[in-house]
């Protein structure tokens, strides 16, 4: 069954224009065809097309299914966007498929990219949510200054993955305990500055390693996400 993103389906029983066009013009679905809808807030709808209009495809709701978070913990990753947008988009796509609650874009001292529009990134999150059959869209925050972000409250364990030698760091897989909420911050290709690491530690972040290999920024984010999920599967 084809799945469509309809964030306002409770108020308007129509597909958004982009989804309507894809449904009617591309997939060539018509009146009477059954489709699936997700609102990005954790609800799945089974529906049938009642008016096959390419700009405002109307539907009748047949069934509403609440889809609670399949894992009893919250995972957030804050990451410095890469200069090559394809790489940070790949990170966003894959972590959404694996499962993540929130993504924050960090502006660090050595960030390769100081500004980034999030419209395209949100579309990628939506596509990955649909592809992986999830009903909850990850929260996406605009570019946030590192010093401001690092001081915000978080109910759970906080980890900073950096590459400085001489600093005592344990593997994330050894520090994290299944079931805990987790926030992991990933720096730019040039790593966090020493001052940024110290600021994180003074605000309750635990220094961790993601393994012996030096990873690219987007790879580190995916490894952190996957590590948390694998550890919880062993619970």
Taking the domains of the chain in order of start, what are their residue ranges? Answer: 3-66, 75-233
SS3 assignment, position 167: coil
- Between 164 and 94, whose confidence is greater? 94
Q: What is the pLDDT of residue 201?
A: 94
Mean pLDDT of 172-194: 93
CA distance 101 to 105: 14
**159: β partners:** 184, 206
CA proximity to 200, closest of 153, 170, 158: 158
| pLDDT confidence of residue 166 | 67
Burial grade of 138 (CB within 10 A; 0-12, 13-18, 19 or more): buried
pLDDT range class, residue 169, cuts 50, 70, 90:
confident
pLDDT, residue 3, reads 95
The superfamily (CATH) of domain 3-66 is: Hypothetical PUA domain-like; domain 1 (2.40.240.20)
Decide which of 120 and 191 is more confident.
Answer: 120
**189-220, pLDDT tens digit by residue?**
888 999 999 999 999 999 999 988 889 999 99
pLDDT per position as a tens digit, 64-109: 999 888 788 999 999 999 888 899 999 999 999 999 999 999 999 8
Model pTM? 0.90
Least confident piece of the model among 47-56, 66-75, 79-88, 160-169: 160-169
CB 235 within 8 A of CB 182: no
| Mean pLDDT of the residues in the chain | 93
- Find, among 178, 167, 179, the residue nearest to 208 by Cα: 167
The reported pLDDT for the residue numbered 235 is 57
CATH (residue range 75-233): 3.40.1280.10
Greater confidence (158 vs 1) lies with 158
As a whole number of angstroms, the distance between CA 33 and CA 200 comes to 53
Q: Assess whether the region 3-66 and the region 75-233 belong to the same CATH fold.
A: no
């Amino acid at each position: 069954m084809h799945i469509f993103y309809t964030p306002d389906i409770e108020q308007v029983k129509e597909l958004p224009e982009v989804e309507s066009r894809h449904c009617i013009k591309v997939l060539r679905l018509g009146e009477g065809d059954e489709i699936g809808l997700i609102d990005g807030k954790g609800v799945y709808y089974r529906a049938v097309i009642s008016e096959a209009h390419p700009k405002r495809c109307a539907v009748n709701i047949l069934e509403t299914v609440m889809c609670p978070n399949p894992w009893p913990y919250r995972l957030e990753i804050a990451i410095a966007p890469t200069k090559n947008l394809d790489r940070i988009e790949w990170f966003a796509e894959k972590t959404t498929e694996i499962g993540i609650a929130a993504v924050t874009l960090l502006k660090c001292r050595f960030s390769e990219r100081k500004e980034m529009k999030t419209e395209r990134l949100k579309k990628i999150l939506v596509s990955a949510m649909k592809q992986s059959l999830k009903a909850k869209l990850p929260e996406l925050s605009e570019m946030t200054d590192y010093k401001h972000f690092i001081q915000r409250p978080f109910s759970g364990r906080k980890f900073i993955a950096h590459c400085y030698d001489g600093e005592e760091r344990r593997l994330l897989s050894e520090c994290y305990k299944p079931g805990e909420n987790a926030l992991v911050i990933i720096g730019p290709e040039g790593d966090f500055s020493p001052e940024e690491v110290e600021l994180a530690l003074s605000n309750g972040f635990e220094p961790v390693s993601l393994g012996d290999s030096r990873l690219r920024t987007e790879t580190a984010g995916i490894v952190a996400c996957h590590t948390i999920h694998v550890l919880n599967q062993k619970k």
